[in-house]
A and B are shown apart, each in its own frame.
Chain A
Amino acid sequence: MQLINKNLYGDYGDKEQAGGSNDGAKHNTASEWPLWEVFIRSKAGLDHKHAGSLHAADAEMAIENARDVYTRRMEGVSIWVVESRYIHASDPGESASMYEPANDKIYRHPTFYDLPDELKHM
């Protein structure tokens, strides 16, 4: 019996298996480029945000493809890419135990403070 179920991003979905899964039976991993996750910084000072994914043969091509696919409309000033198989994901089957306990802990939200009117952007 398998005690630890290791979930990688690429385990979900269909095409995503190209670079992310060991299940070589269904997909020809040798002839398909691996999948990469793309993170874009929209302007200096902001965080890189996940923009999507794409296929590329290596990191350099991934950055160029990201430039062409995700920054055509001036969306970014900086790009990060990481091969999808290096992203470890939580198990959707464990959502109940992982996330639902937070549902009734409303006191964790900082919503019980009276803010002065002058304070904007909160």
Chain B
Amino acid sequence: MTNQPINESINQLLYALELADNALIIGHRISEWCGHGPVLEQDIALTNTALDHLGQARSFYQFAANIFNALPADQKANFFSSPVLQNKIAAGENIDEDDLAYLRDGWDFRNVLLVEQPNKDWAFTVIRSFFYDVYNFYFYTELQKSKVAELAAIAEKSLKEVTYHLRWSSEWVIRLGDGTEESHERMQTAVNERWAFTGELFQMSEADKVMLAEGIGIDLNAIKPLWQQRVAEVLQEATITMPASTWMQEGGKEGRHSEHLGYILAELQFMQRAYPNMEW
């Protein structure tokens, strides 16, 4: 790590944070269903899935923390804006996965806007997962070829989980879309409402571009047609019309988030912020 150019380390760090934040935030959103699922079996299914995402987030945060800790002190000092994290770094302490999840402010989160969108109803929850799962499936498939062994290993392990997530969410899209009049309408509404958040998945951030050039990251433009095809197939089977709109939301990968992320972090981070280093 030490003889690596600093720039590459930083881009690798940002890249890992993109992946980790996506996993953490969608995992948190899905975990909000815990105890509120429509039936016990689906409550457990969603909670399992939330934990899968959380496990993936942990792996990427650990990877990111190692890169961060190896950076020169002057690079670390103001890398994250939150004072509590800066104080820790100024005191010469290493940071870990928990610090990255609990002590960063919203603008340092690099997840896509899709994953922070509210659960609303079952259709909205399912379609958010579906759009993300399809992306994740192709993303991890490609990431298995990463030059960085740790990333490739995380991808290989995660792909098994994501394959199941995709099966689950695809079936629910079809079940609701091709179900009753009401379920069809709700699913179509959810698809229409969430469609504008799908474009950002394939926008290459600066870190994405550098990592692709280094053979570490993957080409999002290459998986886009695969995503489109799979989504079109499932929506067709679900008798859902694919939205024609091409205008897309963006900003999450650069730290510009919707208002929802603040509320998520308030809930997610409250205990560690109010009672630093608490354990339970």
Contact = CB atoms under 8 A, between A and B. Distances in A.
Interface of A: 33, 54-57, 60-61, 64-65, 67-69, 72
Given A55-B39, A56-B41, A64-B45, 18 more contacts: A33-B39, A54-B40, A54-B41, A55-B40, A55-B41, A64-B167, A64-B168, A64-B171, A65-B41, A65-B42, A65-B44, A67-B164, A68-B44, A68-B48, A69-B41, A69-B44, A72-B44, A72-B48
A61 B168 CA distance: 9
B45 A68 contact: yes
Contacts of B186: none
A57 B175 CA distance: 10
Interface residues of B, number: 12
Contacts of A61: 171
B178 to A, nearest CB: 12
A60 B42 contact: no
Nearest to A32: B39
Contacts of A64: 45, 167-168, 171
B180 to A, nearest CB: 11
Contacts of A57: 175
Contacts of B45: 64-65, 68
B133 to A, nearest CB: 14
B169 to A, nearest CB: 11
Contacts of B168: 64
Interface in B157-191: 164, 167-168, 171, 175
Interface in B83-106: none
A72 B50 CA distance: 13
A60 B41 CA distance: 13
Interface in B39-68: 39-42, 44-45, 48
A10 B48 CA distance: 29
Contacts of B167: 64
Nearest to A68: B45
Contacts of A55: 39-41
Contacts of A65: 41-42, 44-45
5 tightest A-B contacts by CB?
A65-B41, A68-B45, A68-B44, A54-B41, A68-B48
B48 A60 contact: no
A58 to B, nearest CB: 9
